[in-house]
């Protein structure tokens, strides 16, 4: 009898705490999903090509970075064209060892840094920062 009570209590104990653990994981998943939605909202009107490899250390709510196997002039052409289509106005352009494009919308700025890889590699890293005004 005492053994059955102990088993029943243990079963209820496990059931309760396993349910709490599931709720905690679900809460973390919802928080991560919300962060993804916030990032998607910030970058919804910024061109990001499909054939890219994300650079995870530089991805946050206001920044996104990726590697692409294109040369700098192709990437510049892409951003000048696509950002204009999305309603951005180009404010500034700097071409050097690193290319910097600055775009503006009424409520935010986008800074795009293109850093080519050294050598004969045609790949580049692209860093995008979006800031609200």
Sketch the domain layout of the chain as residue ranges: 1-42, 46-132
Tell me the two tokens of residue 111: 């800074």
Q: Is it true that domain 46-132 has CATH number 3.30.450? A: no
- Tell me if residue 101 falls in helix, strand or coil: strand
Burial label for 97, CB within 10 Å (0-12, 13-18, 19+), is: exposed
CA 39 to chain centroid, in Å, comes to 6
Tens digit of pLDDT at every position of the chain (133 positions): 544 444 444 444 444 444 444 444 445 544 445 555 566 667 888 988 888 999 989 888 889 999 999 989 999 999 999 999 999 999 999 999 999 999 999 999 999 999 998 776 789 999 999 998 8
| pTM of this prediction exceeds 0.85 | no
Tallying the residues shown for the chain, one arrives at: 133
What pLDDT, on the 0 to 100 scale, is given for residue 16?
43
What pLDDT, on the 0 to 100 scale, is given for residue 17?
44
The answer to whether 23 and 35 are in contact (CB under 8 A) is: no
């Amino acid at each position: 009898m005492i053994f059955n009570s102990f088993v029943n209590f243990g079963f209820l104990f496990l059931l309760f705490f396993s349910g709490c653990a599931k709720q905690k994981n679900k809460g973390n998943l919802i928080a991560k999903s919300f962060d993804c939605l916030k990032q998607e909202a910030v970058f919804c009107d910024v061109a990001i090509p499909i054939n890219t490899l994300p650079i995870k250390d530089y991805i946050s709510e206001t920044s996104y970075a990726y590697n692409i196997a294109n040369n700098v002039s192709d990437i510049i052409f892409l951003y000048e064209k696509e950002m204009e289509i999305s309603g951005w106005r180009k404010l500034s352009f700097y071409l050097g060892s690193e290319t910097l494009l600055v775009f503006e919308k009424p409520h935010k700025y986008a800074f795009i840094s293109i850093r080519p890889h050294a050598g004969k590699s045609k790949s580049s890293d692209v860093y995008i920062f979006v800031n609200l005004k």
